[in-house]
């Protein structure tokens, strides 16, 4: 469960500013850390996450690149191999498809292929998932793709506090980390602990305790899951909401402990149904906690189509609180 602090130890800020603060603090702490990507310097980042960093750290550590994802990602991997700690910003994870060879074939495998002699301490970060009417090619949640690859850690924060704490942990990690920020979350405000706030990679968070049904979610599905839990509470159903925060490594202990308590589970994710993150969660539950289940686990995902541009169709394709609420009632047989 989250470590609770006094509000006097917190500062309210946006998800964007929490990421910016994490970058600034880590670049100040360690001069091997540098940021590279399209428009990260002069323009302060497409989503303004790198605002002010060029002025503070200069062009050797905040580096604008050409529109060439494969090239600058490969440069980052090489820099990490010789001892630097690069942060590669993808303008969106949709564009990272052009760089996936460097992420999957170079960064993820180098430690193994070198017999442990060469590490790749690098963070690949940027917005993932859908926004509003950006169409099929710019509205994709790819976390299950990267979580499939041994050698990569995959992180997907939902709140400002987790965004800061997990990014700082990712930058300090000695392995390649795929850090997927929720597009549409950048303006969301939350309380962020003051000081050197670190959230460990691989530890889920119980965002809302409950006893009747477990709702497992991450990134943008955390907010609709909490709204669904509130709606269920009005009907006398006490839902527990678990934010995975990290997709790989997966915090199976927290998942199994919750299912052992509630005996029923719903998994919500923004990505597609087939081979999604939820499929891995369900496999873990049925293998490790089958006898605890009183109903099959139900999954709520994005519709199994390329994201429509049409506003109404787009809304219909996305996960929302009503769909999660309905799934919870389905596993409760009410």
Residues designated catalytic: 69, 138
Using only C-alpha atoms, what is the Rg of the chain?
20
270 closest CA partner among 160, 180, 205, 209 = 180
Half-sphere exposure of 206 (CA within 13 A, CB side): 19
Strands (E), 232-294: 239-243, 246-248, 265-268
Cα–chain-centroid distance for residue 19? 13
How far the first Cα of the chain sits from its last, in Å, is 28
Contacts of 11 (CB under 8 A, 6+ apart): 191, 192, 194
Q: Which residue has the tokens 């997927």?
A: 180
For residues 138 and 307, what is the distance between their CA atoms, to the nearest angstrom?
A: 9
Three-class secondary structure of residue 300 per DSSP: strand
Instruction: Examine residue 249 and say whether the peptide bond preceding it is cis (omega within 30 degrees of 0).
Output: yes
Residue 185 backbone dihedrals phi, psi, to 5 degrees? -95, -10
């Amino acid at each position: 469960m989250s470590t609770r602090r006094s509000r006097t130890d917190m500062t309210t800020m946006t998800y964007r500013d929490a990421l910016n603060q994490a970058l600034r603090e880590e670049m100040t702490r360690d001069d091997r850390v540098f940021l590279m990507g399209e428009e990260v310097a002069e323009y302060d980042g497409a989503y303004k996450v790198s605002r002010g960093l060029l002025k503070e750290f200069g062009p050797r550590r905040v580096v604008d690149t050409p529109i060439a994802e494969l090239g600058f990602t490969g440069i980052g991997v090489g820099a990490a191999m010789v001892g630097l700690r690069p942060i590669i910003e993808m303008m969106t994870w949709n564009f990272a498809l052009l760089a996936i060879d460097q992420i999957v074939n170079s960064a993820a495998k180098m430690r193994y292929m070198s017999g442990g002699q060469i590490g790749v301490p690098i963070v690949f970060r940027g917005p993932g998932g859908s926004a509003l009417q950006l169409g099929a090619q710019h509205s994709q949640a790819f976390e299950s793709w990267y979580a499939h690859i041994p050698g990569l850690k995959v992180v997907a924060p939902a709140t400002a506090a987790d965004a800061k704490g997990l990014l700082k942990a990712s930058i300090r990690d000695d392995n390649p980390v795929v850090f997927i920020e929720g597009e549409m979350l950048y303006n969301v405000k939350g309380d962020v602990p003051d000081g050197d706030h670190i959230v460990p990679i691989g530890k889920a968070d119980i965002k809302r305790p409950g006893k009747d049904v477990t709702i497992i979610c991450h990134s943008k599905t955390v907010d609709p899951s909490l709204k669904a839990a509130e709606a269920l509470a009005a009907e006398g159903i006490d839902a527990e909401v678990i934010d995975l925060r990290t997709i790989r490594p997966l915090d199976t202990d927290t998942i199994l402990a919750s299912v052992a308590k509630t005996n029923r589970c719903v998994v919500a994710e923004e990505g597609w149904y087939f081979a999604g993150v939820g499929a891995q969660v369900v496999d873990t539950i049925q293998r490790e906690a089958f006898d605890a289940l009183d109903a099959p686990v139900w999954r709520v995902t994005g519709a199994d189509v390329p994201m429509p541009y049409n506003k109404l169709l787009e809304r219909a394709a996305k996960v929302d609180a009503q769909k999660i609420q309905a799934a919870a009632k389905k596993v409760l047989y009410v």
